[in-house]
Structure 1
């Protein structure tokens, strides 16, 4: 189940049996962009919109969101973690995180 506060740009997932909040903050976005080696957030958004994203995009985005939500794990921790709902849920959470972070929610 994906939850979170759409008005705050938040998405929630269950990671290793614990509910975690994902949020893209300025710090987590800067960290994300630093790992993208010449790529940009705009390109990442475009790949998701076009369905051309890859696993690395999903992992980087989830990690940035988790860090923005206060999680102190590493990329390796995320790769070893159990996300309730599996890879499909991870992809949905990543896409929803981008949407909630960069779109104005309907009222």
Structure 2
């Protein structure tokens, strides 16, 4: 079970539960994968509901890698994500929010 106070979110891929977390290393990798913009701009896109599927995929991959997964975005191209695209987008947004939330729920 994911620990929300540790910034964790669970995602089911091909029937297997994976724990995602945006560690500092995963955030650095995410920022490099975005090729343009900053994490703040990514947060603003999600807050404004102006994010792309590329943003969702990059967040999912970074979160999985922060949780110990050693795959790549290419590994997810034919994977079945439980709940589909909408669930993936919701969990990506939740992952991003938890990475920058304090235990009291206050934002940094």
How does the TM-score come out when normalised to structure 2? 0.92
* Aligned residues: CA RMSD: 1.3
Q: Helix, strand or coil for the counterpart of 2:64?
A: helix
For 1:43, the equivalent position in structure 2 comes to: 41
- Counterpart in 2 of 1:68? 66
Superposition deviation, residue 29 in structure 1: 0.7
How far off its partner does 1:38 sit? 2.8
Q: What secondary structure does 2:55 align onto?
A: helix
- SS of equivalent residue, structure 1 residue 80: coil
Structure 2 unmatched runs, 5+:
none
Q: Does 1:24 align with 2:47?
A: no
TM-score scaled by structure 1? 0.92
Structure 1 residue 39 displacement after superposition: 1.0
SS of the residue 1:38 aligns to:
coil
TM-superposed CA distance for 1:5, in Å, is 1.1
Alignment partners' CA distance in 2, 1:104 and 1:66: 21
**Matched residue, 2:4:** 6
Q: For residue 82 of structure 1, report the CA deviation from its aligned partner.
A: 0.6
CA shift, 1:104, in A, is 1.9
Quote how far apart the aligned CAs of 1:8 are.
0.3
